Structure 1
């Protein structure tokens, strides 16, 4: 899909013009992705649209799979639901849950950290880790104080975010990182952004992959 689908940018900045340019006959999205303002414009366009409530949990993902399949008239969705459960059985137990700090980066000028009740936090928990940030919800700008207070054992990023900083060396240059356990031990890991935070049919795969990375970096 990545090779054929057109990238419209971040969901929070998608315009009605860019959507209509693709001449869609049906639009599917979640309540986290489509703002009320954008949904109203889509309705005014006359294109059929369906917005689904998304809960960031394995059960929520399985419900989303069923909801989307039913709208599309596809009853062969149980295999995808079963895959979620099967993949999650591969997650290995970690005796002491490592503290994980997720940093969203778009170059050194844009650094955000994931707080409570974010999709990334839920994936970290499924993988056997714990979020290093517990003071706030959603995303907030990264500060040296938050880094030092959270003192993560591991810093987690999207592959694209890590690349935007020039790799691990770039992350280690962020003010405050060198004072954390993750910085001192160079425990910086990265995953595909869509896989890590999408909470789609591959959520079990995401948790398993992150679990393996956390175990490898606990040594």
Structure 2
């Protein structure tokens, strides 16, 4: 037995020396045959970023915009920030092969320069609805080469199924704040309006679209039962007490009863794979605020 073992060891050693070239050729052949992703992706908004990550392609992101705050492990990476005020130089600095955004990234000059560069540019039409979020997932999956994404849709459906209807729908007003001097109210066609409806509540303002500056008159007219804000928005006001000092707030039912609900901005507005989670959280927070 010892003699056989020794003979085998010698044979292995000799074959290892004589077949280095052959092994290298086999490895090179395997590497060629096995599909290896070469995507170097820049994502132009938070919804796209979290969708690419949820599809298992987060490692391929080399640059993202400043609204991309989720997932945390991706945010912690030293990636190029190429968002607001982005330039073609900023985009090119991370050497992308694929740039993905939504059609709301409206900068014809920049988009033209990207197309001239020859880099693949994909702009997706985003709809603020549950089905719109699922379509976004499908569209992004097709772009990055992922065929299995039903688990993301199932998670959305499972969260939506947990939303409990209100006996009386609370009127909710979303206020966007960047300090006391920059306050905007969300109207129709905004992700906030859509999320309020999905969560089973009623938007307090339906007279205008998009965002308009907040005025005491609009507050009193809307008279919300609950005021909804980003976590960061309330912080920029110095907390709830700072918000209550804004003219008109204390004249509303929400102000009188201090019914202020806050949520993470990205979770609320992205309308990607976490839309069900966002709607469920809002539903639960509104239920707690109005009970």
| TM bracket (short chain) | over 0.9
Distance in 2, Cα, partners of 1:180 & 1:94: 20
Aligned length, in residue pairs? 217
Q: Does 1:113 align with 2:185?
A: yes
Structure in which a larger fraction of residues adopt helix: 2
**What corresponds to 2:13 in structure 1?**
none
**TM superposition score normalised by structure 1:** 0.94
Q: Residue in 2 aligned with 1:48?
A: 120
Note closer, same or farther for the CA distance 1:112–1:9 as it changes in structure 2 (3 Å cut): farther
5 Å-filtered alignment, 1:1-219, equals: 1-4=74-77, 5-8=79-82, 10=84, 13-219=85-291
- Equivalent position of 2:53 in the other structure: none
Q: Is the 8 A contact 1:107 1:161 kept in 2?
A: yes
CA RMSD, aligned part only?
A: 1.5
TM-score (norm 2): 0.71
Distance in 2 between the 1:173 and 1:8 partners? 36
Q: Which runs of 5+ in 2 are unaligned?
A: 1-73
1:17, 1:103 → 2: CA distance? 35
Alpha-carbon distance in structure 2 between the residues aligned to 1:16 and 1:163: 34
C-alpha contact (below 8 Å) 1:34/1:51 kept by paired residues: no
Q: CA deviation at 1:3?
A: 2.0
CA displacement at 1:57 relative to structure 2: 1.0
Cα separation, 2, equivalents of 1:21 and 1:156: 38
Moved over 4 A (4+): 5-10
